[in-house]
Amino acid sequence: MSDGTPNGNGDKARASQDVELSARLDRLGKRLDQVRETGQEQQRSRETSGGDPSAMGKAFRLSTEFVAGIIAGCGLGWAFDAMVGSKPWGLIVGLMLGFGAGVWNVMRASGFTRPPKS
């Protein structure tokens, strides 16, 4: 009676606990493998997407580029009008130039290229 139990079943109880512990460790190992595989799949999907921004992010960026061009054109036209005194014409021309600059910025930011010449 090395374990101090009065009935002498200590070795059987310890063996039973060892088997149960081994089974629990095996289940834990399998579960950890599943979690690792899932994490690796998610990492691979992030890598294949290349960190591409979402569609909503692209839309906000393109709309900001467009609006910034128009605001800058209007601001420059208004400043030109204030300095020269040609009241509506500087603002009108600035608005048109700002619109063109906004379209140009959107095309540049979206990666649009000219079609190939035939």
Total domains present in the chain: 2
Q: Point out the domain boundary residue: 14, 37, 52.
A: 52
pLDDT digits 0-9 by tens, 82-114: 999 998 899 999 999 999 999 999 999 888 877
**What is the percent of the chain where pLDDT is above 90?**
49
pTM as predicted = 0.53
Report the distance separating Cα 89 and Cα 49, nearest Å: 48
Segments forming the whole domain that contains residue 77:
55-110
Residue 113's region, left for phi above 0, alpha for psi from -120 to 50, else beta, is: beta
Q: Is 77 exposed, middle or buried (0-12, 13-18, 19+ CB in 10 A)?
A: buried
Kindly state whether residues 24 and 70 are assigned to the same domain: no
Q: What is the mean pLDDT of residues 53-78?
A: 93
Q: Is 40 exposed, middle or buried (0-12, 13-18, 19+ CB in 10 A)?
A: exposed
